[in-house]
Amino acid sequence: MSPAHYLALSALLLCLGAAGVLIRRNAIVMFMSVELMLNAANLALVTASRMHGTLDGQVFAFFAMVVAAAEVVVGLAIIVQIFRSRRTASIDDASLLKY
């Protein structure tokens, strides 16, 4: 298949993830949406790797996965902590940081 198809799929998934981040209020689901966006970016990187015939794109995708894993671990720990203190997973309830 043409790389254009893969890139189009990547773009579509990215928009879906962005929509999830913006619309959903459950912190965990927002997190999942962010993961979806990262995966869309990875798909674009892998496609670019094939398009140019070098493996650098795949290595970048690999790094993106590592960073995403680290981010998930810390992010979920924060969510757990917020849940412990507020008894809620809604992101709108943790809105006091501006003060």
Q: Does 74 bind another protein (CB under 8 A)?
A: yes
Q: Does 85 bind another protein (CB under 8 A)?
A: no
Q: Does 86 bind another protein (CB under 8 A)?
A: no
6 vs 76: CA distance, rounded Å: 30
Q: Does 23 bind another protein (CB under 8 A)?
A: yes
By CB under 8 A, how many residues form the interface with another protein? Answer: 80
38 vs 43: CA distance, rounded Å: 9
Contact 35, 9 (CB under 8 A): no
Subset of 39-58 contacting another protein (CB under 8 A): 39, 42-43, 46-47, 49-56, 58
